[in-house]
Amino acid sequence: MILEKMIEAYLRNQVKKRGGIAFKFVSPGYNGVPDRLIVMPGGSMYFVEVKNERGRLSPLQVQCHKMLKALGVHVYVIWSKEDVDAFMEIINV
């Protein structure tokens, strides 16, 4: 089983390789926000929650993701290195 921190490191590296930044995102006083705020060249931004195959989203995370999506924000959950690769293709970089 691959550790969550390994998937997160792979995500950071793939984003950096393409000229972007993967900020560790913390929102004091508001639980459930995604782990990373990805900012890519041209100003595209995405919230990304990283889990491993045994991870699960908490009810607060599910609620926060729904709220962000309702506001038109791009939110992704990544469960593996393969998901990172698919994410990079989706955002077309």
Tokens of 34: 């995604």
Rounded to an integer, the average pLDDT of 27-49 is 95
Q: What is the mean pLDDT of residues 24-43?
A: 94
What is residue 80's three-state secondary structure? coil
pLDDT higher than 90, residue 52: yes
Q: Which helix (H) or strand (E) holds 23?
A: strand 21-24
Residue range 53-71: average pLDDT? 96
Task: Confirm whether pTM is higher than 0.85.
Answer: yes
Q: Is the pLDDT of residue 93 over 70?
A: no
> Which tokens belong to 12?
């950071």
Mean pLDDT of the chain: 95
Report the alpha-carbon distance of residue 19 to residue 26 in Å, rounded: 22
The dihedral over CA atoms of 29, 32, 33, 36, expressed in degrees to the nearest 10, equals: 120
Which whole number is the average pLDDT over 61-85? 97
Query: How many residues are given for the chain?
Result: 93
